Structure 1
Amino acid sequence: MSDNRVDPLLPSELERVIFQFAAYTEPISIPSLMLVAWRVKEWVAPLLYRVVLFARVPSALKGVHCYPHKDNSTFFRALSQKPSISKTIRHLCINDDVDLIISDCSSLEDLWGSAGASDADSLSSCPLKRLYCSLEPLFQYKGIDFQHPLFSRLTHLEIFDRGVEDDLTSWAGLASIPHLMHLAFNEEDLFPIVPDLLRLCTQLRVLVHLNAAATSWPEVSEGLKRELRFVGMRCGEYIKDWHMGALTGEDYWSRAEVFIAQRRSGSVDPLQWYIEEDASEQLL
């Protein structure tokens, strides 16, 4: 590591902006940037754990655009040595076998994966804006309380729950989430109540049906085809897509918004409610 006694050629604030921009755009370069100088390490070290990924990482994620933390022992060793690391985590992807104390992640805004080790109360201590998980386990299968503080800041929600019921009374509470603008689900069982959800959830800008592997799309009513906020999408590489979104903002949500804009402008047939290709498979 270089000697800090050497006077920098640029003003400190400008230098900081440059190094932090490099860290944001190429997260895998952060360990190397930390070796430049002590001051640079102080600037970019918190960004090292801004996005934390515990999952079976596709080989494509090992490229220049990402820095996945998939070695549990290494991460928890760092966490034990410097507990403040948990407060720098903004985006987190976890599996069932990861016993992470989420309540310590006081800056966590984006959580993807199974939250089986947590409950709604512990998650509500985080300023979550994006949540991708099964909701029923968070409430011990006693009914989802959509007025729980867990949902108070959410703008994006993907429902993983399997075997969901097409009972509007079970899901009408989604309309009470104050800032929810993006909603996604996987199960076709919810199709019968999609028109009602769009009617009730007036703030929704996007409602996505994610279809990972099916070779055909289900028939929908003419009325639903005309609902521009409703989009069908294929997303076979969930983890890759989430991770790229955490790093760059480009994910299935942003693709759905572009598609909706194209339908509104007429550059895409307004009745074409689904996207044919799976862009997640082409992600770097």
Structure 2
Amino acid sequence: MSWFSRKSTPQIQTSDPRLPPELERYIFEMYALEYADPERILQLLPVCHRVRVQLEPALCRTRIFNDGSDEQRLPTCEIDVIDRLSTAYPGALQNIVKNIMLIGERRDTVERMLRSCNGAENVFLAGCATRGLDLSLISPSLRHFHCTAETLELLNWKPEALTHLELFNIDGHSHGRVPQTLLRLLSRKHFPRLAHLAISATSVIRYQPEVIPHLQNLESIFIRLVLVSVSDYVEDWQDGVLTANDFWARAARRIANRLSGAVD
């Protein structure tokens, strides 16, 4: 004989969240990515249905397409997978995928990815075939853009939301083009919200006298000109995606410390 009748037995409604969905998702993701290891998400998915519902989209939040390199810490993806997902779930990737890295990919791959995931906020293009690329496919909500000077010259969309721009040269063939491209675009006031600008080209220091006066054309109040090396682009971008500790964050801390007098 049971000590408790069905009526008196406490019922735990495991299907009903006790926290707001946004807070619950944040807690799950914070734990899953505590060690900057997306594979932990896979370990957590079988815990319960709500965990799966909240965390499964995080597996697709960052998509990396890297032709033959093993430098990435995040898993790579094939464009055919994106095509199948786009067909099976129309419009879903637009809301889920927020970070895209494409390295050494063909133009059609770049365009298919940008078209399927046109809600991306952070795009990294390096070593891709960009001649003739339709950059109007890039999301109007794009906030971070990492590319070469040649890619930037193809700019045919208005980056209304762009706050971070990083220019780099992978193969060295575009030496000298960064300042010309940048000065031309800055003079046209194409970046109404740009607040962070990184130029990493050979002997970039000599370009500062040319670039800095044009920064006054921008509408953002605080401009940070950050000089970096080209050695750790891929790793640094992934640090930003996984832990929000990329060179932008380190530069911000450095500036804050100098302003406070903590460092010389």
TM-score by length of 1: 0.67
Corresponding residue to 1:184 among 185, 191, 198: 198
Corresponding residue to 1:43 among 33, 48, 54: 54
CA distance in 2, matches of 1:171, 1:71: 36
Q: For residues 126-205 of structure 1, what are the structure 2 equivalents within 5 Å?
A: 126-137=140-151, 139=153, 148-161=156-169, 162-165=174-177, 171-174=183-186, 176=189, 177-202=191-216, 203-205=221-223
Structure 1 pair 38–130 and aligned structure 2 pair: CA distance change class (3 A): same
Once the two structures are TM-superposed, the CA of residue 86 in structure 1 deviates from its matched residue by 2.1
CA distance in 1, matches of 2:166, 2:55: 31
Corresponding residue to 1:209 among 216, 227, 235: 227
Q: For residues 11-22 of structure 1, what are the structure 2 equivalents within 5 Å?
A: 11-14=17-20, 17-22=23-28
TM-score by length of 2: 0.72
Amino acid at match of 1:178: P
Once the two structures are TM-superposed, the CA of residue 105 in structure 1 deviates from its matched residue by 1.4
Structure 1 pair 97–35 and aligned structure 2 pair: CA distance change class (3 A): same
Question: If you compute each CA radius of gyration, which structure gives the higher value, 1 or 2?
Answer: 2
- Indicate the residue corresponding to 1:121 in structure 2: 136
- Indicate the residue corresponding to 1:106 in structure 2: 118
Percent identity reads 24
Are the counterparts in 1 of residues 153 and 181 from structure 2 also a CA contact under 8 Å?
no
Once the two structures are TM-superposed, the CA of residue 10 in structure 1 deviates from its matched residue by 7.0
- Indicate the residue corresponding to 1:52 in structure 2: 63
**CA RMSD in angstroms, aligned pairs only:** 3.1
Amino acid at match of 1:44: L
Q: For residues 254-265 of structure 1, what are the structure 2 equivalents within 5 Å?
A: 254-265=249-260
Once the two structures are TM-superposed, the CA of residue 34 in structure 1 deviates from its matched residue by 2.5
Are the counterparts in 2 of residues 94 and 113 from structure 1 also a CA contact under 8 Å?
yes
Amino acid at match of 1:48: L
CA distance in 1, matches of 2:55, 2:178: 47
- Indicate the residue corresponding to 1:252 in structure 2: 247
Output one character per residue of 1:141-196: Cα deviation in whole Å (capped at 9) or x when no partner: xxxx6xx5342211000112431247668615326211111111111344333134
CA distance in 1, matches of 2:175, 2:161: 27
Amino acid at match of 2:249: S
CA distance in 1, matches of 2:99, 2:153: 22
* Residues 196-205 or 7-16, more deviating: 7-16
CA distance in 2, matches of 1:126, 1:180: 14
- Tell me how many residue pairs correspond in the alignment: 228
Are the counterparts in 2 of residues 94 and 112 from structure 1 also a CA contact under 8 Å?
yes
Once the two structures are TM-superposed, the CA of residue 240 in structure 1 deviates from its matched residue by 1.5
Once the two structures are TM-superposed, the CA of residue 253 in structure 1 deviates from its matched residue by 0.5
- Indicate the residue corresponding to 1:89 in structure 2: 97
Amino acid at match of 1:152: E
Once the two structures are TM-superposed, the CA of residue 15 in structure 1 deviates from its matched residue by 7.1
Are the counterparts in 1 of residues 79 and 113 from structure 2 also a CA contact under 8 Å?
no
CA distance in 1, matches of 2:232, 2:149: 21
1:23 aligns with 2:29: yes
